[in-house]
Chains A and B, each alone.
Chain A
Amino acid sequence: MRFQSPESVDEAVALLAADPEARVLAGGTDLLVRLRMGDVAPSAVIDIKRITEMTTIAQDDGGWRIGAAVPSAEMNETAALVTDWPGVTEAADLIGSTQIQGRATVAGNLCNASPAADSVPAMVAAGAVARVAGPNGSRDVPVEDIPTGPGQTSLAQGELVTSIFLPAKPENSGSAYLRFIPRTEMDIAVVGVGITLTLDSAGAVTAAKIALGAVGPKVIVAGDAAKTLIGTTGDDPALDALAAACSAAATPIDDKRGTAEFRRDVTGVIAKRTARIALARAKGEA
């Protein structure tokens, strides 16, 4: 295995394009585990942390551009980003331990394509867009279109995600992410729910995006569930309808982390709790 540390995106793309067996190293918190377990044996790892534009968080067009090599801890140290997109930053704050957060990136979390990735439902709900660089230039792809199944992405040979763009936070909107795990920390999500919603001046929901994690082969955009909120104030009946719709949208399996039935039930519970936080944030109460 070779270790390469390019200093520009073009150089990284060239290395990646030239070697189909090479892997991108961002935070490394997934890749190094798989290397150690012998699950992958790449010919090279390409460390992107020496590429300046990939290691910075920048305000961009009213929103935020987060470099693909930025550790999640740094996102939470950027106060204005936390204010705009608390759903995304709190999801980033749940990825593993303090130590993991010192390395893990949300772009890596996305490209690892685990159905249980914490930051992905939060980014999807925020309407995040991944910027993808490749041999033919760069393109912008909605985050939900990057993973295609467990461990699989839509990235073509030679492509890598260089940044995640979070759009300008809409007025009177709130975002939140919650997950369920058996312990208080250190577990992989059994259910994860990201919600972003916008209120009108009367407090009724005018827009909502809901994404479910760990209850399907990839992140689920729960469109029907979002509709249950539109026009409501997020009162108890509305939240019960939301919970039922989220449980219905989930397509979980039985595995060592929980039964399908449990996951379906808890999807609704967590959706309701997440929505309450997002509503409070939209109203400026939290």
Chain B
Amino acid sequence: MVTVRLWGSLGDLAGKTEVEIPATTLRELLQGLEETYPALKPQLERGVSVSIDGKIYNDSWSTPIREDSEVVLLNRLVGG
């Protein structure tokens, strides 16, 4: 199980700000979130960034996640 921290407005939709998802990769994490918390689906479809142990990932499904990894969901970043 990986503990995933949601940002506030996403937490409102999930009903809590920290959720537990069984996942070893970024893809499993995103799939698990959508299945367990369907209310998050619109935002997951719009896109998210994920901070894993302080590094921010956008896309790479195979990015490994350990049980003790710090995982934080973020709005998908854009730059200028």
Q: Let me know if chains A and B touch directly in the complex, using CB atoms closer than 8 Å.
A: no
